[in-house]
Amino acid sequence: MSNPTETLEFQAEARQLLQLMVHSIYSNKDIFLRELISNASDALDKLRLESLVNKELEVDTSDLHITIEADREQRTLTVRDNGIGMSRDEVVALIGTIAKSGTGELLRKLKESKDAGASQELIGQFGVGFYSTFMVADRVVLVTRRAGQTEGVRWESAGEGTYEISAVADAPQGTSVTLHLKPADTEDNLFDYADEWKIREIVKQYSDFIAWPIRMSVERPGENDETTTEVQTLNSMKALWARSRDEVAQDEYNEFYKHVARDWADPLETIHMKAEGTFEYEALLFIPSHAPADLFMREGRRGVQLYVKRVFIMDDCDALMPDYLRFVKGVVDAHDLSLNISREILQQDRQIRIVRRRLVKKVLTTIKEMQAKEPQRYRTLWTEFGRAIKEGLLDDVDNRETLLDLISVASTHDPEEPTTLRGYVERMKDGQSDIYYVTGESRSMIENSPHMEAFRAKGYEVLLLTDPVDEVWVEQVGQYDGKPLQSIAKGQVDLDGGDDAEQEPEREQQRKDFADLLSLLGEQLAGEVKEVRLSSRLTTSPACIVGDDQDLTPTLEKLYRAMGQELPQIKRILELNPGHPLVTGLREAHSAGADPAALAETAELIYGMALLAEGGELKDPARFTRLLADRLARTL
């Protein structure tokens, strides 16, 4: 029987990443073994699970294990498992391409960064799994047979753009990966990856907790100077979550985290809990130190792993973690569930809901403690995951109070340091009843918007909210600590508390003086705004545009329209600054009987300027510039 070998090309991204591995930009090469063992362990989990679910599958699961074989003479190292294996198509799809989201982005950043340290960090955050073998090997051979199939597959590559693939008749079920080690360069390789002690060291350090035995044949001096061979298990196989906290070193937690989260960086926080009683479970959860590239992608990986009495049941168990905490990784081992439990049943299960509620509480209190005691770490957490956590303000009404306390937002109080809502409330002025905020695209844009003028002049602090989700939660939450959250670009503002009787007669007079002009401008701008009125929020600008309290903001309006929602035109209100020379001049011109067409043009210009000042878009920029240019020409 002919057995053709095909040569195939790696996907472009895969090729680029392999290049990086071949030229090993990552200094800690030891971790290639951790990656291989981690994959083997996953393959064993998958086989056990499939054999439980699929009774047709005739496989022997009585001795699932991982074997490491080292050959010092040949300089090869093989990691073998009798797990699920891969079909030919799977080998092509899983090993020939990188499905990880964010690959393109990572490669772009790597290309841009000239600094070796930064590149290492990027690769470390991304992780490259199987490809890390090419840091230490110049040729890798993978032989695999999927459980339930008769024919196996052989895959071989030097990591240089192509790989060879062929069928093999007699492959054992499972996968073996053989590394042809690069020559041990004398300078920094004081050891060889085929050395028994080195392998032991790496397994102990990185893979001790793996739930399957990792075996290796070792030679021991026997009687009469003969050497005998014995098979040893290198790892303790203790499930970390089943041990008590004081028995486990942080390093062990960290390595376990890297295995479950497929991360190369240490976690930011470790949460280990045990519940006894009617529904027993253990949870070992981690908050990563950086956000994955797919945090805001619909198809991103989310949630934690579910085990039942040490048996792996499923990845990404979304029933155990709400969506807004999707960045939390780890393991939950629930003792009293059936091994065949499905995702659908889990979602309904009352016990699981109770567990989930407790896990969420624990994660949130952990974050709260971090906020109180370790501001620096909390800051990292908030930078990486704050946007996701804020989604909880909409989804998780039970924990809303706690979540509101966790929020960290920019504020006019300090150009560098963000504030909490609590901090804002503590600094509120005497007699101030509302928490003022403004939303917009960027800090600089909203900080300098006309709406801010009176607040700045009178020394009121304003929260600067620039995240699209901010618009939504401030609306829905409405208040904090009994104090309304009030947009400075909406409704009427009355910074003098409304009881400033001295100013009232003066205002009354102003209203009378401007009444005619305002109604005229209102008519002329009727297509754009629903009202023209005098403002008490301006000190230096001639005008600004504000919304009614119940109206959608322009950003939300844009958002809803982008999502395809039909909305009626939302008109806002033009407010004029009665102290500005342009506005007083306009009133004088009006009472002196100026040409209504010229007044209309001025009104249009003022409206356009107010739009631009808040970062908005003009409907007809060409017309606006023409009107403005004509005006300027006349002033020369």
**Interacting residue ranges for Mg ion, rule: CB under 5 A:** 39, 129
What is the nearest approach in angstroms of ligand ADP to the Cβ of residue 491? 51
Tell me whether residue 99 or residue 372 sits nearer to Mg ion (CB atom).
99
Residue choice 129, 152, 542, 608 for contact with ligand ADP (CB under 6 A): 129
Candidates 82-90, 409-417, 429-437, 556-564: pick the segment binding ligand ADP (CB under 6 A).
82-90
Instruction: Give residue for tokens 């800051």.
Output: 379
Least CB distance from residue 11 to ligand ADP, whole Å? Answer: 13
Single residue of 83, 159, 322, 392 touching ligand ADP by CB under 6 A: 83
473-477: long-range contacts, CB 8 A cutoff, minimum separation 24? 473/390, 473/393, 473/394, 474/437, 474/439, 475/556, 476/393, 476/394, 477/393, 477/400, 477/404
Task: Write down the least CB distance from residue 427 to ligand ADP, Å.
Answer: 47
Of positions 26, 32, 126, 130, contacts ligand ADP by CB under 6 A: 130
Residue 355, interface with ligand ADP (CB under 6 A)? no
Residues 164-193 vs ligand ADP: string with x where CB under 6 A? Answer: -----------x------------------
Closest contact distance (angstroms) between CB of 348 and ligand ADP is 30
Separation of alpha carbons 291 and 83, rounded Å: 31
623 Cβ partners below 8 Å, 6+ apart? none
Phi, psi of 332 (to 5 degrees): -120, 125
Closer residue to ligand ADP in complex, CB, 59/355: 59
CA dist 333 and 349 (Å) reads: 15
Using CB under 6 A, pick the residue from 14, 17, 20, 35 that binds ligand ADP. Answer: 35
Nearest-angstrom CA–CA distance, 401 and 421: 11
Q: Residue 240 carries which DSSP code?
A: G
Chain Cα centroid distance, residue 39: 24
Strand 463-465 and strand 435-439: the pairing is parallel
77 and 179 Cβ atoms separated by less than 8 Å: yes
Beta carbon nearer to ligand ADP, 79 or 454: 79
**Toward ligand ADP, which CB reaches closer, 262 or 290?**
262
Question: Of the two residues 129 and 330, which places its CB atom closer to Mg ion in the complex?
Answer: 129
Smallest separation, CB 329 to ligand ADP (Å):
13
If phi over 0 gives left and psi between -120 and 50 gives alpha, with beta otherwise, what is residue 10? beta
| Minimum distance, C-beta of residue 42 to ligand ADP, in the bound complex (Å) | 6
Cα–Cα distance for residue pair 488/579, rounded to 1 Å: 20
Nearest to 320 by CA among 355, 281, 277: 355
Min CB(79)–Mg ion separation in Å: 12
Q: Which residue is nearest to Mg ion (CB)?
A: 129
Based on the shown chain and the rule CB under 6 A, indicate whether residue 40 belongs to the binding site for ligand ADP.
yes
Least separation in angstroms between CB 331 and ligand ADP: 16
Cα–Cα distance measured from residue 370 to residue 544, given in angstroms and rounded to the nearest whole number: 41
If binding is defined by CB under 6 A, does position 263 make contact with ligand ADP? no
384 binds, among ligand ADP, Mg ion, none (CB under 5 to 8 A by kind): none
Least Å from the CB of residue 93 to ligand ADP: 9
Give the C-alpha separation, 586 to 604, whole Å: 13
By the rule CB under 6 A, 94 interacts with ligand ADP: yes
Residue showing the smallest CB distance to ligand ADP in the complex: 129
Task: Assess contact for 253 and 243: CB atoms under 8 A.
Answer: no
**Listed ranges 83-91, 217-225, 329-337, 375-383: which one lies at the site for ligand ADP (CB under 6 A):** 83-91
Q: Cα 144 vs. chain centroid, distance in angstroms? A: 35
The three-class DSSP label of residue 96 is: coil
CB 288: neighbour CB atoms within 10 A? 22
The SS3 assignment for 546 reads strand
Which is nearer to ligand ADP, 103 or 412 (by Cβ)? 103
314 binds ligand ADP (CB under 6 A): no
SS (H, E, C) 452-483: HHHHHHCCCCCEEECCHHHHHHHHHHCEECCE
262 touches ligand ADP by CB under 6 A = yes
Q: Whole-number minimum distance, CB 77 to ligand ADP, in Å? A: 14
Residue from the set 86, 194, 211, 610 that interacts with ligand ADP by CB under 6 A: 86
Closer of 39 and 76 to ligand ADP (Cβ): 39
Smallest gap from Cβ 563 to Mg ion, in A, equals 37
Chain positions contacting ligand ADP, by CB under 6 A = 35, 39-40, 43, 81, 83-86, 94-95, 129-130, 175, 262
